Amino acid sequence: MIKTKQDLKEYLNADFKAFGMEHPFLGKFTYGENTVLFSYVKNLRYLEYYMNKEQKPWDKFMRAYHLLKHRRNCLKYSINLSPNTFGKGLFLVHPGFRRIGAYMKIGDNCTILPLVLIGKKAPTCDVSNCVIGSNCYIGTGAIVMEPITIGDNVTIAAGSVVTKDVPDNAVVAGNPAKIIKYKS
């Protein structure tokens, strides 16, 4: 969780490295997709900071500003990532629909491609223990149905429908997703 300026700086640096932009200044003028997506993630991190820090009177204004900007960005880019869900090093590849609820906990250095939906199996599901580990890669069009636990270093192939827990270092694919191999 981002509670201090130092935490915010660490998260932003990790996110920036994940996006791997060589010339971020030029990206602002050419509207490169990495620049736009990093801008979305950067605002998300600032929103998390102002939600979690010890509140001073002027922080309410900044929290409201970043919340409204986040809501606008969610509609503009069709990406709805809830605050306080992701670890450091979040990498969004290409613009496009993504929906990840507030009850998820996703580890560090995760890569998420477009058309990813992480949602409940049923409206009454207990989602208090929904976790995706660190260093995970979620391919285009993947659907992850909760409650679920996905281990570290997992690759979810494009178009997969994950309905059961996945152990560490696995590659899953299919509908429903099955383990096709383990990474060494």
User: Cα separation of 168 and 2, whole Å?
Assistant: 26
Does any domain span residue 86? no
pLDDT tens-digit profile, the chain (184 residues): 899 999 999 999 999 999 887 766 766 676 678 888 999 999 999 999 999 998 888 889 999 999 999 999 999 999 999 999 999 999 999 889 999 888 889 999 999 999 999 888 878 877 777 899 999 999 999 999 888 999 999 999 999 999 999 999 999 999 999 999 998 7
Domain shared by 69 and 5, yes or no: yes
- Asked whether residue 62 is domain-assigned, the answer is yes
Q: How far apart are CA 10 and CA 95, in angstroms?
A: 24
Closest to 19 in 3D by CA, of 111, 91, 81, 107 = 91
Q: In the chain, how many domains are there? A: 2
What is the model's pTM?
0.90
Same domain, 73 and 106: no
SS3 (DSSP) at 18:
helix
